[in-house]
Amino acid sequence: MGDRTLKIVRTIGIAVLCMNMVGILVGLFVFDLTNPLFVSITMGQAAAAVVYFACLMALKFRWENTAKVLLLLAAHGQVVHLCYVSGIKTSQLMFFPVCFAIAWLIFPPNHKRFAMISNIFTILCLQGVFYYEYIVKGEGLALEARKGAEYIFTNPLLAYIGLFYIMYSFTKLVQEKESKIIFSKHVSDALLHSVLPESVVRRIKSGERKIADYVDQCSVIFVDIVGFTKYSETTNADQIIWILDSLFSSIDRLCLRYQAEKIKTIGDAYMIAIGLNGEHEDSARTAVDLASEILQNCETRSLQENIDIRLRVGIHTGPVIAGVIGHNKFAYDIWGATVNKAARLQVSAEPGTIHLSQETATQIGDLYPVKKRSQKVELKGIGPIQTFYIDGHREEERAG
């Protein structure tokens, strides 16, 4: 809203400044400068041009309110001065509605009280002009002429009050419409942030249409509930949804704390990625920290709520491709051999364990004790590989 009104003020300021500069040049080279009327008009244009220029300078320094006040004062002053030196004419009176409208253009709907104050000032200026022309200067008018002058003096007041009410009603309607638009924008932004990472939302808003990234170092975590399919066959729907919502909501909160990216849930499995934006140089260590806390929280919940829920976790670190697919319904996802390997590690993990690939185990170093599996594990679509289990607590916890 602020940027729009600034553009309007700048456009009006430049336009009237140019018009006054042309008027000054015409006055200097065309009009007869021995005529006091032309000299007064030209001097008035020069004074107005100075104020309009000051208005544009105020905009340059982002003094928005100062610029608006200068613009309105210059416009009103120039019209009143023109009426004063040359008398009231229809062409000059037409500038008063222009001043009226400018106030509603340069002040947004949520600042309409300032537009109202400006309109009251416009009405007072108009009444002052009529009073001076027909009452002060027209003291010798005949009775009929005085009655006509009184009619002219009061009639514009009624007209401008009506115009004032129309502009107020119109602005109120615009404000209601803009409030609905702003609310809709907030809702759409909230929906975008709920399904897409913050960095991706910013790129989409900036106009980027194709979101496709190659990430050379990312840790992918798969978390799965052991035996959940059989459990769901003997449990009512409300209980199933309650368990999944409770567990996955707790993982959501942990992902926020560790700045991990929730990719999606697939049935009773939860997929997480760390390091997609290069914010985690030690993505493997963060992944193991997160996975350890997920297991710990699940064990605590199982004891508190007397539900036998156990998890198994698979983690692999490597390159992935990340991007957004879909048009009407966005989906942010990751692809590649790293994703497939992490999923296979989860499937072959023992209940209650964190199953690591060689790459992830190497990167965590001595942070956690790891146990090498006695035999290589055959992973579907990958073949036999050497894998590891987390075998104990983090180094600081062991030292404590």
pLDDT at 81: 79
Q: Report, as an integer, the average pLDDT of 50-73.
A: 84
pLDDT at 318: 93
Pick from 192, 222, 245: which residue ends a domain? 192
DSSP sequence for 310-374: -EEEEEEEEEEEEEEE-SSS-EEEEESHHHHHHHHHHHTSPTT-EEEEHHHHHHHTTSS-EEE-S
pLDDT at 88: 66
Structural domain includes residue 27: yes
Structural domain includes residue 122: yes
Pick from 192, 218, 246: which residue ends a domain? 192
114 and 152 share one domain: yes
pLDDT at 270: 94
Question: CA dist 383 to 2, 47, 80, 224, 377, Å?
Answer: 61, 86, 90, 22, 8
| Stronger pLDDT, 129 or 253, i.e. the higher one | 253
Please check whether residue 312 is in contact with residue 346, taking contact to mean a CB–CB distance below 8 angstroms.
yes
**DSSP code at position 211:** -
Residue 171's pLDDT band (cuts 50, 70, 90): low
Name the least confident of 135-139, 213-217, 356-360: 135-139
Residue 55's pLDDT band (cuts 50, 70, 90): confident
Domain region containing 121 = 2-192
pLDDT at 146: 47
Q: Report, as an integer, the average pLDDT of 377-394.
A: 86
25 and 134 share one domain: yes
| Stronger pLDDT, 339 or 97, i.e. the higher one | 339
Q: Report, as an integer, the average pLDDT of 67-96.
A: 76
Question: CA dist 308 to 172, 194, 270, 311, Å?
Answer: 59, 30, 18, 10
224 and 331 share one domain: yes
Structural domain includes residue 30: yes
Residue 253 reports pLDDT greater than 90 = yes
Share of the chain above pLDDT 70, in %: 78
Which of the given ranges, 125-129, 189-193, 239-243, has the highest pLDDT on average? 239-243
144: exposed, middle or buried (C-beta count within 10 Å: 0-12, 13-18, 19+)? exposed
Give the helix, strand, coil percentages of the chain, each rounded to 5: 65, 15, 20
CATH number at residue 257: 3.30.70.1230
Structural domain includes residue 229: yes
For the full predicted model, state whether its pTM sits above 0.85.
no
Structural domain includes residue 197: no
Residue 250's pLDDT band (cuts 50, 70, 90): very high
Structural domain includes residue 153: yes
- The 10 Å Cβ neighbour count of residue 352 is 13
pLDDT at 355: 94
Structural domain includes residue 205: no
Residue 164's pLDDT band (cuts 50, 70, 90): low
Q: Please state, in angstroms and rounded to a whole number, the distance separating the CA atoms of residues 206 and 223.
A: 34
Q: Using the structure block, give the residue that is written with the tokens 């509605």.
A: 97
pLDDT at 128: 77
169 and 220 share one domain: no
Pick from 151, 166, 192: which residue ends a domain? 192
Residue 110 reports pLDDT greater than 80 = no
Share of the chain above pLDDT 90, in %: 22
91 and 181 share one domain: yes
**DSSP code at position 110:** G
46 and 166 share one domain: yes
158 and 239 share one domain: no
Q: Using the structure block, give the residue that is written with the tokens 């879909």.
A: 326
Structural domain includes residue 200: no
167 and 216 share one domain: no
| Stronger pLDDT, 55 or 126, i.e. the higher one | 55
Which of the given ranges, 22-26, 111-115, 259-263, has the highest pLDDT on average? 259-263
pLDDT at 83: 76
241 and 286 share one domain: yes
Domains in the chain, number: 2
Residue 293's pLDDT band (cuts 50, 70, 90): very high
310 and 379 share one domain: yes
230 and 186 share one domain: no
Please check whether residue 10 is in contact with residue 56, taking contact to mean a CB–CB distance below 8 angstroms.
yes
220 and 171 share one domain: no
